[in-house]
Structures are given as C-alpha cells and as structure tokens.
Amino acid sequence: MPRSVLVVDDKEMMRDSVGSTLTRAGFTVRTASDARSALKDIAQKKPDAVVTDLNMPGMTGIELVKQINGIDEDLPVILMTAFGTIETAVQAMKNGAYDFITKPFEGDELVISLKRAIQHARLVHENAILRAGGARNDSPRLGLDRIIGGSDAIRKVREQVRAVAASHGTVLITGESGVGKEVVAHAVHDLSPRVESPFLAVNCAALNESLLESELFGHERGAFTGADTLRKGRFELADRGTLLLDEVSEVSPQIQAKLLRVLQERAFERVGSSTTIGVDVRVVATSNRDLPHAASMGEFRQDLFFRLNVLPIQIPPLRDRLEDVEPLAAHFVEKICIRDGRRRTEFTPEAMELLSGYRWPGNVRELQNICERAVVLSDPKATTIDRVLIEPWLMTGKIVPKATPLRAAPANGQAQPMRAAQSSGHHGGYSNGQPGAFRSTVQPAVGSFTESKPVTLPGDRTLADLERDTIVATLQRFNGHRQKTAKALGIGVRTLGLKLKKWKEESLVSPNL
C-alpha cells in the first residue's frame, strides 16, 4: 500500500520540490500551504507522516507539531528549517517531532528519515492493535475456506460473502447465537481489499454504555476519572481496515446515535474532545435479534438499521442444515487433535448418526464444545469416538423427530404442521420477509408454562418438552441473561430460575444454563 505524506510549506516552490522528490521515492504526496489547512487535512484523512517547514506565518512548525500531537501523538512529523540550531532541534523533539532536517538537504536524507519514521509509527500502531485484541491471523483456513459445510444454505452464504467482500459497504450478518457469524465476518475481511490492514472486533453486549463509548471512540487525557492517558478507540485503530461490531443490537440509544454519525460521515470525536477525526473503516455488524421488529418497537434506531443493512448476510441455524454436521465435526476433531498432540480420531458411524439427528439448540458452538469434550475424554490410544462419549451431553428431547415438524397447539388444541417457511425456526429471516429474524422453532401456546398433566403431541412431543425447548432457546438468544429471558417469555425471574433448577436436577438441560 502506498505510504502517504503531507508536505506543509508556505512557499509553493519548496512544496513542489519536496513533493516531486517523495513521489519519485514511491510516496503518495498531499500538500498544504499553511498549518491550519494541514490540520483540516489531517483530521479528514490522516497521512502516514507529515513534513513541515519550521518558519511559517500564522502558526510555526513547532506549534503545528503540538496540534498534531493532540490529534494523534503517534503520527510522525519531520521539521525542515534553514535556520537550524541545537536549541531549535531540542525544542522540536520535546514537542513531539520525530526528526529535524536543516536546509539545504539531499533528497535521499529526507526519504531515509521518512521511511524510518513511518516504520516506527507502524510498529507502534501494530502494538496498539495487538493490545486491543487484533491478534495476527494464524488460521490455516482463509477466506471462503473458513466456512465449512456442503449444504445449499452454506453454499448460498459463500456466494453472498464472495459478492460483498470486494465492496467497501457496511455488512450486516444475522443469525442465531452460535451459528458462526464472526467466522463469516473474518471471511469477508480476508477477501476484501483491506486484508493487509487490521481486523478488530468489539463485543457490544459485554460492555456498559460508558465503557463501550470509550472502547469504540477512545478518550482524551482527563476526560473522566481514571483517564490518565490519551486512548485511541477501535474505530481509530481499525483505520483502513475492518471493524466488527458484534451483537450491535445491544448498544444503548446514545451509542446508536454516535454509530449512525460514523457510518454517515466517517468521522467522530473522542470522549472529552471536540476535534473531529476522519476514518476509513469498513464496518461489519452482527446480530442475533430481529432488528426490523426491534426498530418498529422503538428498541433500535430505524435509521441506524438501514445504515447497517446495506449488504445483508443471513446464516441459517445448524438444525436447518444438518448435512453440515459431519464436515464440521470432522474439522473440529482434527483441529483439537492437532492442538493437543493426539493421534487422529474420528466418530463412529453410530456416533455420527446421533450427531446428525440432534437439533443443536446451541448451533455450531455447541457442536464444537461437544467435539472437544469427546476428544479430551476419549482414550488417548483410541482412533474412534463412540456414541457413548457424546450421548450423555446431548440435551434430552432435542433429537430431530422423523415425523413432520409441528407447531405448538393453538387455543383450539389442534396441532398444525409447520409451513415450509416456519419449520426452520425463522421466517426466511425477517418477519417482514427480509432475511435476518430469528424466532424459536417452537412457539408456545397461551398458558403453556404450567406443570399440568403431560399432553402427548404427534411426534412424541409433550407440552412440557415444548415449554423447556422454548425457554432454553430464549435463554440462549439472550446469552443467558435471565431477566431479559423472563421478560420476553412473560414469566417471573423466580419462576424461570425454579424451572431451570428442576431441569438441571433431572439432567434435562445443560448444567451451564
């Protein structure tokens, strides 16, 4: 990627001369005739380095260095002057300049100094990205190879990824919890023109409002109690790269307003600052909620939803593509065996038949956990994994029945077969016919949350089973948050807790719920 340099000098001849020298050396050059124009240029799109004259009308080069440090203290600045003294050089360095060159100078001297400055700034930036969680990509699978499976649904997802990757537009990836939305986000980045730039992610559901604001946009020194140093946010660190907003539906209205502005204007201010910073970031957002419904209910900004839903990708749950279970399980087992230094292991046909008939309420994440558990608990000398190692960990009542899937009985007590669009647990995506909505496969009937005499439905399903399935699915939808689950189901938190406690004692649900 060409390195960009901003040349600041009030003399046009000097700007042209320095610009020509740097262009021949392979740099992309922008110019400014004074310090204020330079600051506006930097705020809109930061260069890799700045070369500025020392003596300029209005604002000197040293004053410009101070102002640049307020925007980005890691942006290297090289000062040029025809009146070089030791005192001036010391003053320039104290104020944050990277280097000091006395006129007249050879073009090679400036080029070498710039290359060193940019390399130093790049190392500092990479270190900050690593601290922010943007680890180097050491996965043997890249791009579409990350997305494992041979079902028609997964082939469609691959086609969508291939289609949107080359664009710079915002991507919205929707799907139930655990289907692999982050894997698809990585695949989009791998195939994009930004693959050599950072990929950063932030879990919007894991942080409160103030922490999330600081994490996304950064803060100035002294912006709040404990803000002892300037901190760059994820948008700033991911400049020219990709930023994943995981579970974006969980952010507060205040943060939603700020996200809308970044998506519209590609600019933001750090917390405690009035300086506008421009960024070039490709945003990929994920959600396991029905965002159109949330927007219609006033729980999510409708204008932000439209800004996010530019290039939608919807990932179906694993229960709707059971043919992908076998390749996914083989991949996870191989990966775990390599990681733990074990001999190659695979599932027996009986074990694979059991896995392929399970409904996978936890989706791909649950399959990965069961594969790891089976490998770790198996005999190190064994080369196969039998069904006895996995059957105890599958939640009771989650095996896919052979009969036609049924909906919960309506008020008249007549159970009805699911329509094709409903059998997948979502209406092809959004409730209005667009991709992305995620509803429980089983919709409970009114008054189903009781402990009355079990009523057997066709397919050997009881109302008690339907109740348990619905509660577990809703709990997973809210990532284990019991208050949100109880509110969504219309029951009390205490009632929810008692039911879960009873089912755990009877080994009907996972002990981790």
Structural tokens at position 4: 């960009």
Upper half-sphere CA count for residue 82 (Cβ side, 13 Å): 5
Structural tokens at position 23: 């262009």
Distance CA 437, CA 290 (A): 4
If one compares 437 and 459, the residue with the highest pLDDT of the two is: 459
Distance CA 192, CA 281 (A): 12
Distance CA 195, CA 240 (A): 10
What does the chain come to in residues? Answer: 513
Q: What is the pLDDT of residues 54-100, one digit of tens each?
A: 889 889 889 999 999 888 888 999 999 887 677 877 888 888 899 98
Least confident window among 226-230, 286-290, 308-312, 341-345: 226-230
Q: What is the CA radius of gyration of the chain?
A: 29
pLDDT at 104: 84
pLDDT at 221: 82
Q: Give me the domains of the chain, ranges plus CATH numbers.
A: 4-131 (3.40.50.2300), 143-314 (3.40.50.300), 318-393 (1.10.8.60), 405-513 (no CATH)
pLDDT at 487: 81
Q: Are 232 and 220 in contact (CB under 8 A)?
A: no
Distance CA 18, CA 6 (A): 10
If one compares 326 and 227, the residue with the highest pLDDT of the two is: 326
If one compares 401 and 254, the residue with the highest pLDDT of the two is: 254
Structural tokens at position 453: 């005499």
Question: Percentage of the chain with pLDDT > 90?
Answer: 49
Residue closest to 73 by CA, chosen among 43, 39, 97: 97
**DSSP tally for the chain: helices H, then strands E:** 18, 16
Residues 6+ apart with CB under 8 A from 98: 49, 76, 77, 78, 113, 117, 120
pLDDT at 461: 59
pLDDT-based confidence at 457, cuts 50/70/90?
very low
Q: What is the torsional sign of CA 494, 495, 496, 499?
A: positive
Mean pLDDT, range 122-146, rounded to an integer:
78
Least confident window among 111-115, 340-344, 346-350: 340-344
Residues 127-137: b if buried by 16+ CB within 10 A, e if exposed:
ebbeebebeee
Q: Are 171 and 305 in contact (CB under 8 A)?
A: no
Q: What is the pLDDT of residues 463-505, one digit of tens each?
A: 777 788 888 888 888 888 888 888 888 788 888 888 888 888 8
pLDDT at 179: 94
Distance CA 484, CA 482 (A): 6
- Statement: residue 421 has pLDDT above 70: no
Q: Are 71 and 43 in contact (CB under 8 A)?
A: yes
pLDDT at 506: 82
pLDDT at 224: 81
Q: What is the pLDDT of residues 363-417, one digit of tens each?
A: 999 999 999 999 988 888 888 999 888 888 887 555 554 443 434 444 444 444 4
β-pair partners for 267: 278
- Judged on CB neighbours under 10 Å (0-12, 13-18, 19+), 71 is middle
If one compares 140 and 378, the residue with the highest pLDDT of the two is: 378
Give the three-state DSSP class for 287. strand
Q: Mean pLDDT score of the chain, rounded to an integer? A: 83
pLDDT at 136: 53
Neighbours of 86 (CB within 10 A): 8
Distance CA 322, CA 360 (A): 9
If one compares 338 and 423, the residue with the highest pLDDT of the two is: 338
Only one residue has tokens 């719920």, namely 513
pLDDT at 398: 55
